A and B are shown apart, each in its own frame.
Chain A
Amino acid sequence: MGNYLGNIWETITTMLTGMRVTLQHLLSIRRNNVTLQYPEERWPRPERNIGFDHSNYNVIRSRLHVDIDDCIGCLKCERACPVDCIKIETVKVPNRGEDIRSIGHTGITANGTKKAMVVSRFDIDMTECCYCNLCTYPCPEECIYMTGGPNSEKHEIDYEFSEYDRNDLIFRFAKKVSDEEIESATSVSSGEES
């Protein structure tokens, strides 16, 4: 009988102890919360002392980037890509090496090459990219390259590139002008030439 009542007493006290613990967690959720609401809040970047300024190096991820003003539209990177994640379309310009202001086309690259093509589309689908870096080697103008890594220079697109929509991971590097504008800008002057 004493054992029986003792068991009941132990049951009640241990139950109350457990319920007190959970109630404390329930009430102190603002203090104890461990969930990070990711896109709104982020973990602070880890502090590292590797000999130079913390704000001056790229933290982790690498990503393809194109300096579109230097691109001559030679399609070598598109052919080199093993997963075909680069899509390029080009339109021939009437006068080689001439700027076309209306569509933001620059005639001469940083290396001094005169451009024969307007790059009307330069899309890189980063959901397909396998980070093999094969596209950067054939580029004659060195305009497509991987950003990131602690040893390269700090780049503005750093750290992470998660998006709500998968389509937002297709990066469009070409100047944002419509096909009609490109067509009129290139065909009018070509008519003069002939």
Chain B
Amino acid sequence: MIVDNLIDWFPTSAAWPGLTFIVAVILCAVPVFIFIAVYALVAIYGELKISSFIQDKVGPMGQGVGLHAWRWGLLQPVADALKLILKEDIIPSSADKKLFILAPFIVFIGAFIAFSALPFSQTLIIADMNIGIFYILAVSSLGVIGIILAGWSSNNKWSLYGAMRSAAQIVSYEIPAALSIVVVIMLTSTMSMQGIIQYQSGLVWGFLPNWLLFNNPFTFLAFFIFFISGVAECNRTPFDIPEAESELVAGAFTEYSGMRYAFFFLSEYANMFVVSGVAATAFMGGWQSPIPGMFNTPGWGLFWFISKSMFLIFMMIWFRWTFPRLRVDQLMDVCWKGFIPISLFNIFGVGIWYLLIG
């Protein structure tokens, strides 16, 4: 949407189509990058505080001097980011230098380009593709290439183990996530993100908003399968065996420090937002208001979308500080013996439901 509007708006678009396209794309990409950076600071602060509260501690409270000294440690993530930027850039001498430098960017790009299809509000979507949700599922698994590159180029056994585990995990969990999205596509009969959201307007069961989460028991199950698979794709605890601090030091990121490590960190948080955003779009009505018929302007739409995504991110943080890490074989068990049969059953059930009830 925004990209198309920008291209139409440029007066020279007829004369320089290629140039106009590039300028329009950059004009869209810069705000998204700023949004990711700001959101990551908020999410890191939230993670610090929620983790501390769950453990009966208070978290950063700004007891130091300089940047740390702010109420409730509010500037702690800024100070952390500054520290990461200023740190020395270390490349191990026996690492494969080109791949080592390339890896964090590929991981970040995988998370970054998925934002172009996230519908922030009725009008605020960078490109409303007619295969939007398929596009996001496709590009969000690009990141695993970067993780494998990072693990391989580090020339380090921990990194390689982490990369191999990550590949196994992400490839496995793509399947239940995609199968759960198939349920959504069957009901809405569109792959466009805006189309999926528009399907979810109005009421269901008389009083609930017509989100797919509440639409029928099979979509209810599918939401949880998609969300938990999403947590696994983000490599977050309890599925964080690619990093697994206590087993693999830091997995694929062992040899990284400073800005390159910050990019891995940033893309983990960006991935969390993508997964939460897709879950909010596909199952929780995206920018639709939870009270049907009220607060439905584009401004409120942005608010609802961000709130729903942030709620799901809070759930992820809550998971992380509740559950212990799964073993590798348990992880595969959960996916292949638990999620995939249930999501296949879901597709069957939704088909029957669609035929009988509509």
Contact = CB atoms under 8 A, between A and B. Distances in A.
B63 A33 contact: no
B322 A19 contact: yes
Interface residues of B, number: 17
Interface in A1-53: 4, 8, 15, 18-19, 21-23, 25-26, 29, 32-35, 37-39
Given A8-B338, A37-B63, A164-B65, A22 B57 contact: no
Contacts of A34: 56-57
Contacts of B318: 19, 22-23, 26
B323 A25 contact: no
A164 to B, nearest CB: 7
Nearest to A18: B322
Nearest to A34: B56
User: How would you classify the secondary structure of chain A's contact residues: helix, strand, loop or mixed?
Assistant: helix
A164 B65 CA distance: 9
B221 to A, nearest CB: 11
B141 to A, nearest CB: 26
Contact of B58 (A21, A23, A37): A37
Nearest to B59: A35
A32 B52 CA distance: 12
Contacts of B338: 8
A33 B55 contact: no
B168 interface: no
A26 B53 contact: yes
B52 to A, nearest CB: 8
B328 interface: no
A34 B337 CA distance: 42
Contacts of A4: 337
B65 A22 contact: no
Contacts of B57: 33-35
A33 B61 CA distance: 13
B261 interface: no
A18 B56 contact: no
Nearest to A15: B323
A65 B319 CA distance: 55
Nearest to B64: A164
A4 B338 CA distance: 9
A33 B58 CA distance: 7
B54 interface: yes
A21 B322 CA distance: 8
Nearest to A31: B56
B321 interface: yes
Nearest to B57: A35
A101 B55 CA distance: 61
A29 B54 CA distance: 8
A15 B323 CA distance: 8
Interface in B129-144: none
B50 interface: yes
Given A8-B338, A15-B323, A22 B54 contact: yes
Contacts of B50: 26
A25 B63 contact: no
Interface in A146-168: 164
A29 B56 contact: yes
The 7 closest A-B pairs by CB, nearest first: A29-B53, A22-B322, A35-B58, A32-B56, A22-B54, A26-B53, A18-B322
Interface of A: 4, 8, 15, 18-19, 21-23, 25-26, 29, 32-35, 37-39, 164
Given A25-B53, A26-B53, A35-B57, 5 more contacts: A15-B323, A29-B56, A32-B56, A33-B56, A37-B58
17 contacts: A4-B337, A15-B322, A15-B323, A18-B323, A19-B319, A25-B53, A25-B54, A25-B55, A25-B56, A26-B53, A26-B54, A26-B318, A29-B53, A29-B58, A33-B56, A35-B58, A37-B63
